[in-house]
Homo-oligomer: A and B are copies of this chain.
């Protein structure tokens, strides 16, 4: 699938490429005369017509209607994009610029991603997207109950990776600070690293024995742990600058927007897409491009998604990218997305060595 275009003559390739670029630039079908006049070709429009006719039968070009120029098909774009990816070297300038733009907001990953999404949108004038996959149902490694008032305490549930979730517990009987300690001990003894589905009634009974002082407290604590563990984290998607797309003629009709807005509403699709692309294929850590409905991207309609995963210590912790019309300025976008992802990668791993304040909380953040 990667190098379909191998069999094309050099001239066909040049024609195809020029058609794609011109269409990206102007948004209008390009005809043989235009190509002939653009100076790149030493032949007449008739020759180009012949070539284009062949490119059409090969599936790289198509005509909106019989008497207009050609526009690239999905396959056409794919060829062009693969070509670009082949010769692509990240522009060093971008990385610095983007890193410095991000550095100001060196908060937790969550905020970095939001920031990145906004940045992507501004730099490319398309819609920026940033996402963070869900955490799945994770067990908690450690618990700590903090005594707040005689009738309330704060339960801190800490995951293996150091991220934490907190929950207030209230009782209708007075508690002593010792009770919090006992509860902590019992939780750590019985529920440490126990996944949600293994939290059973016998376990709860065992815990009640360990904390005779406040059985009701134990019950609600266990329930909270159970809920927190089974909820998992749902992942998150940020779409920034959707309104920018409205400027492009391909989004002039309501139909085409509907899909995108739906995307904003049911963000799971995007998460699925990325998750899929990570699982299924080899993930070489490079910029990925999904064009049109290539991968059952129903909602993406006639748009294209350019993204790259963000990693920390080899593990995928998110992705950033751009959504735009199929005739996107791929050169810029690819370079930008790559730089952006690299910038984030460096940023979140640069921090690691010395004395890193990481944010670990419900919304998750780092691994």
Give A contacts to B, CB under 8 Å. 107, 142, 144, 146, 148, 152, 154, 156, 158, 162-172, 216-217, 220, 223-224, 227, 231, 239-243, 246, 251-252, 254, 257-258, 261-262, 264-265, 353-363, 366
State which of B107, B154, B158 has its C-beta within 8 Å of the C-beta of A360.
Answer: B154
Please report the C-alpha to C-alpha distance between residue A164 and residue B170 in the assembled complex, in whole angstroms. Answer: 15
Given A156-B154, A246-B258: A168 touches B264 (CB 8 Å cut-off): no
Given A162-B148, A246-B254, A362-B362: A220 touches B357 (CB 8 Å cut-off): yes
Given known contacts A154-B162, A257-B257, what 16 new A-B pairs fall within 8 Å (CB)?
A107-B227, A142-B146, A146-B156, A154-B156, A156-B164, A162-B168, A164-B168, A166-B166, A170-B355, A172-B354, A216-B355, A217-B355, A220-B355, A242-B265, A246-B254, A363-B363
A272 to chain B minimum Cβ distance, whole angstroms, is: 18
Please report the C-alpha to C-alpha distance between residue A230 and residue B252 in the assembled complex, in whole angstroms. Answer: 42
CB–CB A167/B361 < 8 A: yes
Chain copies in the assembled complex = 2
CB–CB A358/B170 < 8 A: yes
Q: Which residues of B contact A231 (CB under 8 A)?
A: 107
CB–CB A167/B265 < 8 A: no
Of the listed residues A220, A258, A261, A366, the one surrounded by the most CB atoms of chain B closer than 10 A to its CB is: A261
Given A148-B142, A162-B148: A243 touches B262 (CB 8 Å cut-off): yes
Find the B residue at minimum CB distance from A356. Answer: B170
State which of B148, B152, B359 has its C-beta within 8 Å of the C-beta of A167.
Answer: B359
Please report the C-alpha to C-alpha distance between residue A224 and residue B107 in the assembled complex, in whole angstroms. Answer: 10
Q: Which residues of B contact A353 (CB under 8 A)?
A: 172
Q: Which residues of B contact A354 (CB under 8 A)?
A: 172
A192 to chain B minimum Cβ distance, whole angstroms, is: 13
Please report the C-alpha to C-alpha distance between residue A156 and residue B166 in the assembled complex, in whole angstroms. Answer: 9
State which of B107, B154, B164 has its C-beta within 8 Å of the C-beta of A158.
Answer: B154
Q: Which residues of B contact A156 (CB under 8 A)?
A: 144, 146, 154, 156, 164, 166
Q: Which residues of B contact A169 (CB under 8 A)?
A: 357-358
A79 to chain B minimum Cβ distance, whole angstroms, is: 31
Please report the C-alpha to C-alpha distance between residue A227 and residue B164 in the assembled complex, in whole angstroms. Answer: 18
Please report the C-alpha to C-alpha distance between residue A265 and residue B264 in the assembled complex, in whole angstroms. Answer: 10
Please report the C-alpha to C-alpha distance between residue A44 and residue B357 in the assembled complex, in whole angstroms. Answer: 78
28 A-B pairs with C-beta separation under 8 A: A142-B148, A148-B158, A156-B156, A156-B166, A163-B168, A164-B166, A166-B360, A167-B360, A168-B358, A168-B366, A169-B358, A170-B355, A170-B356, A172-B353, A172-B354, A172-B355, A242-B261, A242-B264, A242-B265, A243-B258, A243-B261, A243-B262, A246-B258, A246-B261, A251-B254, A252-B254, A361-B361, A362-B363
State which of B152, B239, B241, B357 has its C-beta within 8 Å of the C-beta of A224.
Answer: B357
Shortest Cβ-Cβ A-B pairs, 6 listed = A168-B358, A164-B166, A168-B360, A361-B362, A242-B261, A243-B262
Find the B residue at minimum CB distance from A358. Answer: B168
Please report the C-alpha to C-alpha distance between residue A361 and residue B364 in the assembled complex, in whole angstroms. Answer: 11
Please report the C-alpha to C-alpha distance between residue A166 and residue B241 in the assembled complex, in whole angstroms. Answer: 30
Q: Which residues of B contact A362 (CB under 8 A)?
A: 361-363
State which of B152, B162, B240, B262 has its C-beta within 8 Å of the C-beta of A152.
Answer: B162
Q: Which residues of B contact A224 (CB under 8 A)?
A: 357
CB–CB B167/A357 < 8 A: yes
